[in-house]
Amino acid sequence: MNSKNKFLYFFLIIITFGFILIYWKKKYRQIKQKDYLSKETKISFDLEDLLKNLGGKDNIKSLSSTQKILKVFFFDKQKVNSLELKKLDGVSGIALQSGSVSLVLGNTAKHVEELINEVK
């Protein structure tokens, strides 16, 4: 093996390992961590339908929400129409207690809480 072939051999090895290193860095790089929670502002149902099925805005005592669940405290359980609440597009789950109802809304829960508080 003469010196020209040795140089070419080492040059190709360095280039090959360089491309492998670039590939690995792109494939396994750390994705930037988000330090905030996302909030969806587009709701897939009519807010008036939600209020009507909760017994109207006069039936709502208070609201609280987590990132994905809206909990509505009400005065009269008889006014709450749980069957129609289940049929709303954006509601993926419902839990009816004696004094409250929990609605699983996804990322829109905080926004829906703000909208209902504006209407109240």
Averaged pLDDT for residues 23-48: 80
> 17 is in which domain, residue-wise?
1-33
The yes-or-no verdict on residue 47 having pLDDT over 70 is yes
- How high is the pLDDT of residue 28? 75
Choose between 31 and 19: higher pLDDT.
Answer: 19
Same domain? 7 vs 60: no
- 38 assigned to some structural domain: no
DSSP assignment letter at 30 = P
Per-residue DSSP letter, 105: -
- 111 and 69 share one domain: yes
Average pLDDT over residues 40-59: 91
Please tell me whether residues 60 and 90 are part of one structural domain: yes
CA 71/CA 103 separation, integer angstroms = 6
For residue 106, what are the contacts with CB-CB under 8 A and spacing of at least 6? Answer: 40, 68, 90, 92
Report the number of distinct structural domains present in the chain. Answer: 2
- Cα 82 to its chain centre, rounded Å, is 23
For residues 86 and 64, state if they share a domain.
Answer: yes
Residues 106 and 52 occupy one common structural domain: yes
- Is residue 42 domain-resident? no
